[in-house]
Structure 1
């Protein structure tokens, strides 16, 4: 029987669900941006070439994502010094305001280059606040979870990424209904950003009821580190490198295939907007519901890093056939490939909170997690741009995606094996 370490499972579940909803909303913000990429790229980066506009638009993702390590430093620093809850709440609220404001942006044709500058600024603000959300969620869920069930509750939290894409599908369906046809290019894409107010209100309401981490209160509150990130770099620099590379690899799969799926399917297949939504929905529903189970599997087997590595190798082997089926133009094959991709990705992604939190002490946990994961994902934000450019270079979009993501998956699988031995079921330091 799993050791609970004296922690309440019901409280842990409440925190995990709050983290799931918050992470779902945060990813909704970013995924919606990719969802409408083909529509709004020419509105902010006009060009004679649709692909050229898209490539410039995709670079704004990179700019926004490199604000994430900065946000990780900020939220991690104060989260370790004054507590997790307040910083976690602020990050969600800031991200939400940025997303809703994006729906009100004037276009290049209305105010010129200032529109592009405002878009980039909002992307940077989103990246900054997102860093605190994901890092804070991983930290709080791990610290509230019973010692023998950190994989389970971490899996619940990580399933929020799939929920974000599900929110995006719903928003897209609403926007297509309210602004069909050409109206989507003027009003529909704005509705998708405004829709974010709904999951934001739900997530904020749930989060307000979450208490402060007992781990932090009992071990750190009275004697916090002066500058937590300095301790991280001095004592845990090897872990920072390992975590950054592993999260880069995983993020490359996510942003190069899963999150980019709506944009890529619209560019390279004749599937309708509703069929594309079905493929995205299938991919993320199986991921959402499987994530807690795969997290719990790591609790039972006590082998987190091996499971992350094995899954990385399997994804590396299957990337090409999955992507080939996904973009074959067949609705049935695309659904099948999406289900397989969501199934495999859940096995790896769900384990990150427990794997990261168990190798670090409580006094610098937020700083370590927030900085490392956001630096890794910042580098992975190049994925949509790279796979699009490689597709042009090879004159084959499937090879463009596969060449990049096979390498990323295998590198991540190898590097994770260099991390310390698993501490499943052991009390946090």
Structure 2
């Protein structure tokens, strides 16, 4: 950007809000999918065992998310070559169509194995388009942000993930009201996917007004890389490994605890659907509001990688106590656990976009970010499956979650320390 003036700040804020809403919708998809997991797993993956159906259902998350690295390469390639805005818009629209379409799928009992095939295909489509959304948002937000406010704007964007869970809570309440009791298994779960039209329309309307990145126009437009991802692998392969592992670590906490929370509380406690919604809501409201503040704190302190590492270690130390509180089935203790986890996760998560953007050059930024984060998250998408499986192995769901997430959070903290020296407040390359 040319300067740190008011115009740049306002433009950056508009882009950050657009990214927040878009990312909120994208995460709405996954959380809704987990919200209804125990309900619709038997409808698409029938089995004599409820847990077996759930495990097969959770594997579709893994399948869909492994389309994300491919999507990251595709959207990163064209985003670096022909501009950020168009690819960012297309990724959101494609994701939205795939998400809403799940609500119209016939079940296994209606069309047999074709129902299973269709839901897997839609998950793959979702994963492909989602890759461009998150990577594009990180790239654009930081390229529009004044150098001294990248952490703040990144925090606003990343808060969209919490917004996705809040949308899911609202959708769940609407669905339960319109389809109470047994009706939820018949058509109520469909309402939750159809509800996605609301955040999608809002996000698309705001995104349409976002302009092209000045960073890209000034530095890349006239001489783009021929194959951006090849340049990334050749010059910055170590950065790719570091970013992938750190995002895997963070994603494992998200998918293994936060997004998995409705499934965990529904399976292993006696909390009502309303109480579970409130626990999820508390976890994500603090995340939504804390994220910009903690992102800005990284601007003020002028450190990013150290904060990411410290928070990884702290989360690792507190995972077990947090899961213990959730497993008590106490409504109050579950809310407290959710608030603590939401705060710590938001703190670390809010720093990622600025940390990633400042480590790479503009000509390949979209490709680097989109591929690295989506590969990391694709690997972490195993988390709901792994923690459910480990819970069976240890005959204790608390141990299953704790073992996996303690290891991954500490691993992410160690690897974050290996990243390049921070460039907080400096102009982007």
**TM-score after normalising by structure 2:** 0.99
Paired position in structure 1 for 2:89: 89
What is the match of residue 324 of structure 1?
324
Aligned ranges for residues 137-152 of structure 1 at < 5 Å?
137-152=137-152
SS class of match (1:159): helix
Query: Relative to structure 1, is the Cα distance of residues 426 and 5 closer, same or farther in structure 2, using a 3 angstrom cutoff?
Result: farther
Shift of 1:5: 7.8
| Aligned residues of 1:6 and 1:146 also touching (Cα < 8 A) | no
Matches of 1:270 and 1:4 in 2, distance apart?
53
Contiguous gaps of at least 5 residues in structure 1: none
Aligned to 1:413: 413
SS in 1 for 2:226: coil
Q: What root-mean-square deviation, in Å, do the aligned CA atoms of Structure 1 and Structure 2 show?
A: 0.8
Q: CA deviation at 1:6?
A: 8.8
1:341-380 alpha-carbon deviations (Å, 9 max, x no partner): 0010011000000000000000000000000000000000
CA distance in 2: counterparts of 1:34 and 1:346, whole angstroms? 20
Identify the residue that residue 159 of structure 1 maps to in structure 2: 159
Instruction: Tell me if structure 2 keeps the 8 A contact 1:243–1:372.
Output: yes
Match of 2:283 in 1: 283
**How do residues 29-428 of structure 1 correspond to structure 2 at under 5 angstroms?**
29-428=29-428
**2:11 matched residue in structure 1:** 11
Query: How much does 1:4 deviate?
Result: 2.5
TM-score normalised by L of structure 1: 0.99
Q: Secondary structure at the match of 1:418?
A: coil
Q: Any idea what SS the aligned residue of 1:336 has?
A: helix
Q: Tell me, what secondary structure is at the counterpart of 2:210?
A: coil
1:25 aligned partner: 25
SS in 1 for 2:417: helix
**Per-residue CA shift, 1:278-326, capped at 9, x if unaligned?**
0000000000000000000000001100000000000000000001101
Q: Is the Cα contact below 8 Å between 1:144 and 1:213 reproduced in 2? A: yes
CA contact (8 A) 1:7 1:145 kept: no
SS of match in other structure, 2:224: coil
**C-alpha distance in structure 2 between counterparts of 1:392 and 1:259, whole Å:** 19
Runs of 5+ in structure 2 lacking a partner?
none
Structure 1 stretches of 4+ with a deviation exceeding 2 A read 3-7
Give the total of aligned pairs. 427
What is the CA–CA distance in structure 2 between the aligned matches of 1:118 and 1:232, rounded to whole Å?
A: 34
